[in-house]
Structure 1
């Protein structure tokens, strides 16, 4: 089962840009089926031996030796407080993932299969308030409800990671710089907060949306109202894998529309391990930054803001 999954993961990466999302389906105990983006999965293993490391939060089962690497292992059922997670039932599989430039393991009870689902059939999760819970999307497969987990948010909440990043004063906009706005599109609550922290320190306004369809509708509404979106936004910072419409398709639609085509689009994704540079070029994105480095993101954003300021007759301070 595990090797079959690994073989199919390579095949599923070809779905990028076709507005379909490949999900690894699994259970955490009980009947509920969960999913995680296959592009984040490196491999699936039977539960290995784990060794303990002082200081790990209680939801972590320990650390695994995976091909010579020490990988922290989170018991995902405990991490999200899954009510059907039996305390005396040890999860049988380890899902090894890579995102945001790090490798992380998740223990799950059973691994089901890999499916690919049309992005329009993947819906935003229920509104659970400001924190948004641990879900990034919901969908259905063969009549079963699939809950897609925002693993970045789970990890951040458990580790109580800071969402902000401290940038040096070199990144601040100088006095006299024209006011600017940035449109941020990302389905992860953690990612939106991280990006907003960077942009706040750069001194630019931020509009936050959670999927590509929302973003496209918003831009089209601006255009229909007579306001060129490129005059409202200095750039669009978009994730790639999102419900309703992915970042590749959003970028393609922006380039196709004469009223949107001059927007600057920066793709920002945690899927760096399988990222296809030629795909970014083919859909017409202007730049790409792998998650998550606040300084890399700030550098790339400042390049664009400098260009906008120059066109407006000003000049921003770039990072030395």
Structure 2
């Protein structure tokens, strides 16, 4: 266990092309789950928790960790399972999502494994809209589930998608005409958050459930264009962590294709605290916006659509 704890900090500094490192853990029982190590700040035995009056029933309590007060979420109970009773096998995974730090109480922590995003698949079709799975994979001939943490956090503390009045500008969509923007994200909650935030700009949006789906759709649309994808798709907003193909690889594929590369790409991800900005430049993305601040995202979209419009007028 000491090896896992010591290696997390090192591994969060690594960014690979279309690969990820999963920290495997258990909730109740033998079923294994995984969380991207890039999200993890620290793993520790469950510390002493303090209950707060009126706290959400899914929050086990708060802990004071390295000078910071952190809410600890019962990851089993919050996904419809039985409550985790802290004992000597319980751990708290300290992770950063959407510009905030949370603790996730889990029943046990196993090890870190390295995988290709090609080995990470969308959840089964029968999982339904109420499922908390964002992806699945197989390790040691057993299924490992990757939870939709953004959905869990949004149910505990919903994120506002409203834009400030000075950011709202429906003329953006009017100027775009029949062209659309694409949103690629494996989390249904995250896709809908982006869609709702950008609706006041009057945009028509095309949705993709992961990087491979986005690339397939773009290539199909590009085949109908005369010169460039930007005739029909003005901008792509993409998550980074996605099954089958991550946002880094998707961006690299776009920028290496002469008929796709003119389309601006905004990487929009909850990988805020340990994000490697050098990777954005390496794959050629135009911008990076940490999740989730609707005004910042909308402002970036307006900026790149304006640059796109100026470029089209110049041509």
TM over 0.5: yes
Instruction: Check conservation: 1:239, 1:267, Cα contact below 8 A.
Output: yes
Residue in 2 aligned with 1:241?
Answer: 241
Change (3 A) 1:5 1:279: same
Q: Which residue does 2:305 correspond to in 1?
A: 305
Q: For 1:56-96, what per-residue CA distance to the aligned partner results, in whole angstroms no more than 9, with x for missing partners?
A: 111111111111111011111111012xx466665711111
Q: Report the Cα distance in structure 2 between the residues aligned to 1:178 and 1:259, rounded to whole angstroms.
A: 19
Cα distance change of structure 1 residues 103 and 211 upon mapping to structure 2, 3 Å threshold: same
* 1:5 Cα deviation after fit: 2.0
Q: Match of 2:11? A: 12
Q: 1:181 to 1:121 in 2, by over 3 A?
A: same
TM-score by length of structure 2 reads 0.91
The alignment's TM-score, normalised by the length of structure 1, stands at 0.90
2:161 matches 1:164: yes
Give the Cα–Cα distance (whole angstroms) in 2 for the partners of residues 151 and 194 of structure 1: 14
1:163-183 alpha-carbon deviations (Å, 9 max, x no partner): 532331543133852324110
Partners of 2:278 and 2:159 in 1: how far apart?
A: 34
SS state at 2:237 partner: strand
Who is 1:178 aligned against?
Answer: 176
Deviations 1:28-66 (A, max 9, x none): 011110111111111011111111112211111111111
Contact 1:17 1:249 in 2 (8 A): no
Change in 2 beyond 3 A, CA 1:46/1:88: closer
User: What is residue 44 of structure 2 aligned with on the other side?
Assistant: 45
Give the secondary-structure state (helix, strand or coil) at the position aligned to 2:248.
helix
Ranges in structure 2 where 5+ consecutive residues have no aligned partner: none
Equivalent position of 1:269 in the other structure: 269
Give secondary structure in 1 for the equivalent of 2:258: coil
Superposition map of 1:1-320 within 5 A: 1=1, 3-13=2-12, 15-82=14-81, 85=82, 90=87, 92-128=90-126, 131-159=129-157, 161-162=158-159, 164-174=161-171, 177-179=175-177, 180-226=179-225, 228-311=228-311
Secondary structure of 1:131's partner? coil
TM-superposed CA distance for 1:15, in Å, is 4.8
Q: Give the secondary structure class of the aligned counterpart of 1:243.
A: coil
Give 1:8 shift.
2.2
CA contact (8 A) 1:15 1:22 kept: no
Q: What SS does the aligned partner of 1:167 have? A: coil
SS at match of 2:306: helix
How many residue pairs match? The answer is 310
Q: Distance in 1 between matches of 2:51 and 2:274?
A: 31
Distance 1:41 1:88 in 2: 22
4+ runs deviating over 4 angstroms: 86-91, 311-314
RMSD, aligned α-carbons:
2.1
Is the contact between residue 84 and residue 106 of structure 2 (CA under 8 Å) also seen in structure 1?
Answer: no
Q: Measure, in 1, the Cα distance between the counterparts of 2:141 and 2:204.
A: 42
Report deviation, 1:290: 1.0
* Deviation for aligned residue 1:307: 1.9
